Each structure stands twice: as structure tokens, then as C-alpha cells.
Chain A
Amino acid sequence: MLHMFAFAQSYMPIQGSTFAKGVDSLFDFTIWASIISFVILIGGLVIFVVKYQRRSDNDKTAYITHNVFLEFLWSFIPLCIFMGIFVWGYVLYKDMRQFPDNAIEVNVMGYQWGWTMTYSNGKQSGNELVVPVGKPVVLTMTSKDVIHSFYVPSFRIKQDAVPGKRSKLWFQSDRLGDYEMFCTEYCGTAHSKMIGKVRVVTQAEFNEFLAKDKSKMTLAELGQEAFNVKGCVACHSVDGTVKVGPSFKGLWGSTVNHSDGTTAVFDENYARTSILNPQEKFVAGFANVIMPTYQGQVSEEEITHLIEYIKSLK
């Protein structure tokens, strides 16, 4: 019978995971229960306001102090509805917390302001979670700095990534496609830019993604991967838009103006210093942005890759 009223699909995001249908049915039920209660209450109110308008200042009103039966009804019926909704919500929630054994496991690291995904074979990707269609996926999450929350609206799932803790989340998507992924725990400057994608692909595409051979990639391609995985992408764009920090587009070989009035040409050594010792000079207009140092977090090799990548961004 509920299907008759099912209208969550008209405003909820696409049902991208196996949880979505159940959550939406419950959501529909609560919406209808709400609308009916609202109509009874506010409808009653409006009728009384119209019907019992004051006619004169000497109106006599009925002296009704209470009515045990009515009061019992409007305590007990809501209680039953609330308890029903509670149990229904709990049952669905329990499914979300029952982790399947045969799942693909991905480690997710949140940081200000992006996500790094690490697959069991060591393959990493940044801000993009690639999963095969029709297979359960378990995410084990933590955070490098402050609390973030991993949220995919189309999957109806969300879980905080807390520094110093591992939290878990699972889902299965039976529908190929790209899905928006947000951070829902406020985490500072670029909280609203901490947007990624979940890509649900075929098993074959997934295998290819996992197996992508590093030895066959160009230096610039490796640099692009490091750019995403190491989190540069959180603050620097590659298309000229200004995010928290300056864009990388057209940066190579250009003359950089500093906040203290000095200038320098962006070359290999300049790039290296900017990564390892970002506080040395500030680019004009970004003097109050504190970029963390990447000392010890990127190897000299990776710096070479990043430099090649920046070179390629004409």
C-alpha cells in the first residue's frame, strides 16, 4: 500500500545503494504521518478559529477542564506511532551496521580538505572512490587532522572520520554511475570544497583501475596521481580558478609576486621549496593562508613527478 504514496523519489537523490530504497520508504511513511498529524492539528485549529470567533465581549464560553479519554488517546496514539517509527528506523540502521564478510575493503583518510583512498593492493586515489557494481564495499575511515564526515547522498550513508579512531561504513551499489560525495562535518576554510566522487564501475573497469601499472605511466601522470593523493588538489586548482591557494595553471616559468614585494621565477627549485618549506615566502594575495609543510610526506621522486605535472599545465 505504501508504494501508492511513495514520492520520496521526487526530491531525494537517486537511489544509488541497496540501502536507499528502505530509507526512502521509511522517509515517505514519516512524511505522511507528519502531514496527517499536521492536518488534524492545524485543521482543527483553523476550524475552531473560524467557528468560535468572538461575537461580543460578553461571550460565555464552555468550562471544560479536561477529558481523560481524549487525553489518553492523543498521548497513546502518538506514542505508538513514534515507537513504530523508532523500531523501523532501528532495523534499517542495523543493516547499515552489519558488515558483510566478502566485501572489498578500502581505507579512507580524511584531511583538510580532501580524501585519500587506499585499496588493499596499495593502489591510492584522491577524492575519488572507485568501486565495482554489485559488490559490497567496506570503508575503514580515519582522519589526519580534524573530524570529517563521509557522506554520499545517493547512497543514504554517512559516517564521521575521527582522528585517532577507525570508523567503518559499508554499502553496495547496483547502479553504474558517478555520485557526489560531501564532507558533512564542519572542518574549516574549504569544508564546502571538500567534494569528491564515487564512481561505480563494472568489475572489469575496476580491475583495470586497481592494476594500473605505475611503470607504464609518464612522469606527469604520476605527478597528477600524487597531486590528488597527497591532497594538493584540496587547495590548488589546475584550471585557473582560485581556491584556498593559487592555481597551478600556467604557473610554470611565470614570475611570482610575493607579499613582501619581491618576485621570483617559478622553476624546479622554487617548486621544491614551496612544497617543503611553504612558509618561506607568500604569494601576493595569499599572505594569511598557512600551507602545511610536506617535509617527510613526499619523497624527492614524488616532487619530480609533481614538477613534471605542473609543467604540463599550460
Chain B
Amino acid sequence: MGHAHVEGSNYLNHEKGLWSWLTTLDHKRIGILYFISVMFFFLIGGLFALLIRLELMEPGQQYISADFYNQVMTLHGSIMVFMVIIPGIPAFLGNFFLPIMIGAKDVAFPKLNLLSWYCLICGAGIAVSALFAGGIDTGWTFYTPYSIKTSTAVIVFVLGAFVMGFSSILTGLNFIATTHKLRAPGMTMNRMPLFVWALYSTAIIQVLATPVLAITLLLLVAERALGIGFFDASLGGDPVLFQHFFWFYSHPAVYIMILPALGVISELIAAFSRKTIFGYTAIAYSSVAIAAVSFFVWGHHMFVSGQSELAGAIFSGITMLVGVPTAIKLFNWVATMYKGSIRLDSPMLYAIGFMFLFTIGGVTGVMLATMAIDVHLHDTYFVVAHFHYVMVGGTLMAIMGGIYYWFPKMFGYMYSETLARLSWVFIFMGFNITFFPQFILGTQGMPRRYHDYIPEYAWLNKVSTFGSWFIFAGFVIGLISIILAFRKKEKAPMNPWGAKTLEWTIQSPPIHDNFEKIPTVNGGPYEYR
């Protein structure tokens, strides 16, 4: 692009004004656009979560009616899945750092990159407009025939999710092309940081699986609008077919949500142990393995749906296999810390919190994959607790760790370490107080998506609600730490953590072109010697 580099110039002040942001093709700025939008959606989804917990604090109706509760529960789920966790790490942290980590100036298709952000915003806008057309009460899974029979605005909402899907597909496409085509000289695939490997595996799933969701949602719209009868038994359709279609996307989507988080954790563990990662190849390829296997496990959501025993057994067996690469990663991270030089800065605290919670999420996942146990636990609060341990305990902890890790690089400022650690204490404690009781509620049989429950479940629900306030406090403290960092303007050095990946060799915040001169790479990403 040939801009002469001016002292003090960076991507933030390279151009000025709102318009320059809305039309930017700079991957870093697009990353920031995602950051702001995802934070905003997270705030909304989080407020809905608090409302859910508030209503469930006592048995019986507290503040909101059953119909309103069902809408809140649907919105919480779909906002968090489609607008926060799926775009969270790849489109925000990934956009910002994937090109830099492989020594590139930008992604392969900058215009497509901007388009993907607009897809997310438009899709979100359409989805939210459903609120003014009667809302939506199907749960984020849109199961038929309920989604066909309900009087709420399913079509509008589903079209929103459809458009958001394109955001995910385009980002994935961009990352695959970027990873293959734009690596700096000497940056072989086997020298890529593990975060890049994770994003790459995620991108493959995004490109292959998301179109299936798009088709499924269109079929649902066609069924509702035209009464075609793909899923309607009285017209010769099959309601369970929808579940097959839906989970064919949505199980891989679980890995769209968690793989990037695993990548972030690999970076954090290596950087804060000052040690080369243990089992680089195993971690890198286990991401790809998880991505590949994830396409063949969807039926584990349907052990009690009337699916044949043989199909159930196959899905159960393959699901167990996912546990192996996951276990490999966890053990390799712990092995990385062996004989390291470990510092518990806030990003590392989040990484450790991640491992703690993700391990619980993982082992409970194995329980749910076990057919006879799943018959008892399916659609109970045990499942709710399990996927929150993976999605919130896992992905959200990784996002927080990633934000604190890369914040000095992204914005050039340091934040208050005390506040950052305090946010961790509240989120980590609060998370366990909120969700651990839900495992017990689930084993006791409390079904999910419940507006009310029998008195036996009361005290654990109360504890869970208290916990949700701790989590809220934790995120507020986190937000304050970031706002204060912008106000105090304490300059960050180029490499505050002494990390070895390429983004730490350039100025904070980076210049518009990332590198003064494209680097030549002649070693692995974690050369701590």
C-alpha cells in the first residue's frame, strides 16, 4: 500500500472519523468493530440471563409470565450463540491477530471481511426486529412442529439467523484463504501459532456446516409460510428430520464456539509459562481431528427422539472419540507448564480458570454421550450446566483471557492488573456458584426450559441465582478495567509478556500495514530457550 510510515502513526489514527471505520478494509479495525458489536450483544444476552435467574429464584411465578419467560429464554440462547459466542473469538480476536501472526498485511479478501461484519449486523437487526412482530418463543433450537405452530414471529427471526450465517461463512472462507496464501516467507504450516491452527480448523467447519443451517432454516420458513410439509407429519413429513438437519450444523457449531478458545489457551499457557508448547503437532492436529469428527456425532442429541438403537450406538461411540483429542490438549497444556517459569497475570488466571471449568464441561460431556445415562439426563438442567461449563466456562473465559492478553497490543495501553484479577475472581467463583448446582438439579430430574418447578428444587435454584449476580459483578469490573485503561492511557510496551509470536515483534498498537517490512520466519512460534 506504500504509505510512508510516520512516527506515532498506527491503525487507530491512520484515518479518522466514523465513516472511515464503517468503510474500513483493515482487518484490525474490522476486528474492533466486531469487538464492540459482540460486547453490545453480550450485554443484552447477559441481561436476559439475569432475568431468567431472577424468575427462577423461587418456585412459582415471580416477575414474568410463562409466555414472556419463554421469549426471554429463547432470546438469551440465540443471542449468546449466534451473536456472541460464534463470532466472539474468530471474528474479533481472529480477525485482528490471524494475519499478524502469520506475518501478513491483511486477510486475503478485505472487502469480504467487511461484508461479513455487515452480515452480522444486518442479521442481528432483522432478528431483533422480530421482537416488534410478536417475539419468538421456540428456544434457540427452533424444533418443529412447535416452531411451525407457535404464533410468534419465527420467520423474521430465522431469516435474521440465516443472514448472520453468511457472516460466519465469509469469515471462515477468508481465514482459510489467508492461512494458505498469505503466510510470510519461512512461515510453514508447522510454524504457525496454535491459535492460527485453531482458527483454521474452525474456518473449515464454518464453511462446511453453516450452509446446512441456512438450508434448514429456509426449509422451516418455507414450511411455515407455504405449508409445504417437510416436517409436518400430517402432510407426510417428519418432525424429527428437522432435528437431524439442525444438529448436523449445531453440533459442529459447538466446535466453532470452542476450538478458537482452545487456540487462545495454547497461546496463553505458552506465553505465561515462558516455555515452548508441549506436543505442538498433537495440539495442532487434534484441532483438525475434532473438526473432522464433529460432523459425525449429531445424533447424540437424539437418543430419546425415536432414533434407532443402532444409530444411537454409532453416534454415542463416535462422540466418545471426540474426548480423546480434547484430553490430549488438556494434558499437553499441563505438561507445558512443567519446568516452566509461570506468572499468574490475569490472562493466565483466565487460562487456568478455563482449564478448570472446561475439564468439568468435558467429563460431563462424556456422561451425556453415554446412552443409558443420557436417557435420564437428556433435556434436564444437567445438560444446561454442561454446555454452560463448556461455552461460558470455556469460551467466555478464553475471550476474557484473550482480551487481557492482547489488549496492550490492540490499543497500546496497559490496564489495571488488580481490577483484571478481581474480575476473574468474581466471574470464576460466580460461575461455579451459578452452574454447579444445576448439575445436581439435573440429576434430580429438573427439566430445562422451565418457567416454574416443584418445591424440591427450590434451594439449589436460589443458590444458582445468587451466583449469577457474582458473574454480573465480575463482568462489570472487567468493563471498568477496560474503560479506565482508555482514560489513564498508560503506554504499553511492544512486548509486555515476553511472548514469542509475531504480533509481539511489532509496535503497539500496530501500524496500518502491521509490519514495516514483511518478516522472514526461521523458527517455531514458541522458541523460549
Contact = CB atoms under 8 A, between A and B. Distances in A.
Contacts of B303: 93
Contacts of A189: 66-67, 70
Given A96-B372, A156-B375, A180-B445, 14 more contacts: A13-B445, A26-B372, A31-B367, A62-B339, A64-B275, A64-B276, A66-B280, A75-B327, A85-B366, A89-B374, A149-B379, A151-B447, A184-B379, A193-B66
Given A22-B372, A64-B339, A86-B320, A164 B233 contact: yes
Nearest to A79: B324
Interface string A9-53: 001110000010011001100110110011001101100110011
Contact of B373 (A23, A64, A193): A23
Nearest to A164: B233
Contacts of B70: 186, 188-189, 191
Contacts of B339: 52, 61-62, 64
Nearest to B345: A54
Nearest to A56: B341
B47 to A, nearest CB: 22
B191 interface: no
A162 B341 contact: no
B273 A184 contact: no
B442 to A, nearest CB: 10
Top 6 closest pairs, chain A to chain B, by CB: A164-B233, A153-B445, A92-B372, A89-B370, A59-B341, A34-B363
A149 B98 CA distance: 45
A283 B154 CA distance: 28
Residue from B335, B360, B529 whose CB has the most chain A CB atoms within 10 Å: B335
Contacts of A147: 143, 145-146, 239
Contact of A52 (B321, B342, B360, B443): B342
A44 B143 contact: no
A66 B282 contact: yes
A165 B379 CA distance: 20
A265 interface: no
Interface string B268-282: 000001111011111
B498 A162 contact: no
A62 B139 contact: no
A312 interface: no
Interface in B259-298: 273-276, 278-282
A165 B240 CA distance: 10
A36 to B, nearest CB: 10
Contact of A92 (B282, B334, B371): B371
Contacts of B312: 93
Interface stretch (B17-25, B179-187, B448-456): B448-456
B321 A75 contact: no
Contacts of A44: 334
Contact of B151 (A34, A62, A290): A290
Contact of A61 (B273, B280, B449): B273
B137 A70 contact: no
Nearest to A166: B306
A82 B145 contact: no
Interface of A: 8, 11-13, 19, 22-23, 26-27, 30-31, 33-34, 37-38, 41-42, 44-45, 48-49, 52-55, 57, 59-67, 70-71, 74-75, 78-79, 82-83, 85-86, 88-94, 96-97, 145-147, 149, 151, 153-154, 156-160, 162-165, 167, 180, 182-193, 195, 244, 290
Contacts of B306: 159-160, 162, 165, 167
B150 interface: yes
B371 A89 contact: yes
Report which residue of B316, B339, B363, B371 has the largest number of chain A beta carbons within 10 angstroms of its beta carbon: B371
Interface string B424-444: 000000000000000010011
Interface string B62-74: 0000110010000
B355 interface: yes
Contact of B355 (A42, A52, A86, A185): A42
A271 B239 CA distance: 36
Nearest to B308: A97
B227 interface: no
A97 B304 CA distance: 11
A269 B140 CA distance: 43
Interface string B335-367: 101111111100000001001100110011011
A237 B440 CA distance: 31
A71 B279 CA distance: 8
Nearest to B274: A61
A193 B304 contact: no
Contacts of B324: 75, 78-79, 82
B443 A59 contact: no
Contact of B341 (A30, A61, A180, A187): A61
Given A64-B338, A162-B305, A182 B447 contact: yes
Contacts of B366: 30, 34, 82, 85
B275 A61 contact: yes
Contact of B334 (A12, A34, A41, A75): A41
Contact of A74 (B273, B327, B379): B327
